[in-house]
Amino acid sequence: MEKKIDINAIYKPSEDVVARDVQGEFIIIPIASGVADMEDELFSLNDSGKAIWDKLDGKRSLKQVVEKLALEFDAPKEELEKDVFGILKELLKRRMLVEG
Amino acid sequence: MRDSCYLMREDSEKEISGEDFICLLHAVLEKGVSLKFKAKGFSMTPFIKGGDVITLAPFGRADYLSLGSVVAFIKPETKHLVVHRIVGRTDNGFIIKGDNVKEPHDIVPGTNVLGLVKKVERNGRQAYAALGPEKRVQAFLSRNTNLLPTMVTAWRQIRNLLGIKTKYE
């Protein structure tokens, strides 16, 4: 069963990924298996995803992340919250984030 | 800000090269993790061919590298990443050379060596890359002659004639 995400929860990037800006793209490679597989396990985040990833620093709650995004982007908070929850689900499913 | 898909899996044809690749390689190896990536070029043919998938591992200290090891290093003159074989050692660093190149070897400081090739895969199966104890013989042949590819081809023909199969086939 999918875990319900709490808006007051704090998340940060997992130690089990390597993430870098590469040739204008934000690349994430999982390393939990002990091998970073650039052939089969190379992921990229789109611009929205990257903007959210940068704010998931293990200090801000998701609520604060949404507030910060609202200052940067001209979009309603409800919509931004959906974006944050959307990416969080994808990243948690692949164990790229952990609770901070 | 809306996008339907935030996280995308890149296909295996995505090419990351140059400094970006070296940066990524450093980041992975620093975590004590191996990196799998596609080889390019022909300088290590027949042991490593373009398109083969190499598993490169961190090696700890330079002392752990031995004669015949195949390593990824930054070529001092060009700053390019190269995968070749250690064929000797001097006070100034390792003597490193491609198995299939006539050009003189490189003298490479230990700090330029980034990782050790642990496995080579070709078409999804492990390929023979002379990484076992026989690597010392390969190092000798590579350093002193360019006969190695010829010898390998000859060996394959003999093997086929005799119907001998290796564990990689």
pLDDT by residue (tens digit) across B84-110? 999 999 999 999 999 888 877 889 999
Min Cα distance B143 → chain A (Å) is 31
Q: What is the pLDDT of residue B12?
A: 66
Domain residue ranges of chain B, discontinuous segments joined by +? 4-162
Which chain A positions have a beta carbon within 8 Å of B5's beta carbon?
Answer: 46
Query: Chain A residue closest to B36 (CA)?
Result: A37
Q: Using 50, 70 and 90 to split pLDDT, how confident is the model at A96? A: very high
* Cross-chain Cβ contact B1/A83 below 8 Å: yes
Q: Given this model, what pLDDT does residue B167 score?
A: 52
Comparing alpha-carbon positions, the chain B residue that sits nearest to A70 is B1
Nearest-Cα residue of chain B relative to residue A85 = B6
CB-based contact, A45 to chain B, within 8 Å? yes
Residue of A nearest to B13 (CA): A39
Interchain proximity A34–B33, CB inside 8 Å: yes
Decide if A54 touches B, using CB distance below 8 A.
no
pLDDT of residue B110: 92
Tell me: pLDDT of B81 over 90: yes
**Across B131-144, average pLDDT:** 86
Q: How far is A39 from chain B (nearest CA, A)?
A: 5
pLDDT at A7 over 60: yes
Query: What pLDDT sits at residue B3?
Result: 55
Position B56 pLDDT exceeds 60: yes
**What number is the ipTM of this complex?**
0.82
Q: Please give the residue that has the higher pLDDT: either B14 or B3.
A: B14
Structure tokens of A46?
Answer: 């789109």
**Residues near B69 by beta carbon (within 8 Å), at least 6 away in sequence:** B85, B86, B116, B117, B131, B135
Report whether pLDDT(B9) > 90.
Answer: no
CATH class as words, domain B4-162? mainly beta
State pLDDT tens for residues A55-95.
Answer: 999 999 999 999 999 999 888 999 999 999 999 999 999 99
Mean pLDDT over B114-140 rounds to 91
Q: How far is A9 from chain B (nearest CA, A)?
A: 20
| SS3 state of residue B111 | helix
> Mean pLDDT over all residues of chain A?
91
Residues of A whose CB is below 8 A from B12: 39-40, 42
User: Is residue A2 pLDDT above 70, yes or no?
Assistant: no
Residue B167 CB partners (closer than 8 Å, separation 6+): none
Give the E-state strand segments of B75-169 in sequence order: 81-90, 93-97, 106-108, 113-122, 125-126
Q: Name the burial class of residue B132, with classes exposed (0-12), middle (13-18) and buried (19+) by CB atoms within 10 angstroms of its CB.
A: exposed
Average pLDDT for residues B133-152, to the nearest whole number? 76
The string of DSSP codes covering A6-69 is PTT-BEEE-TTEEEEEETTEEEEEE-TTSEEETTT--EEE-HHHHHHHTT-SSSSBHHHHHHHH
- The 10 Å Cβ neighbour count of residue A96 is 24
On the question of pLDDT at B4 being above 60, the answer is no
Does B111 or B14 have the greater pLDDT score?
A: B111
Q: Which residues of B touch A66 (CB under 8 A)?
A: none
Residue B121 has pLDDT above 70, yes or no: yes
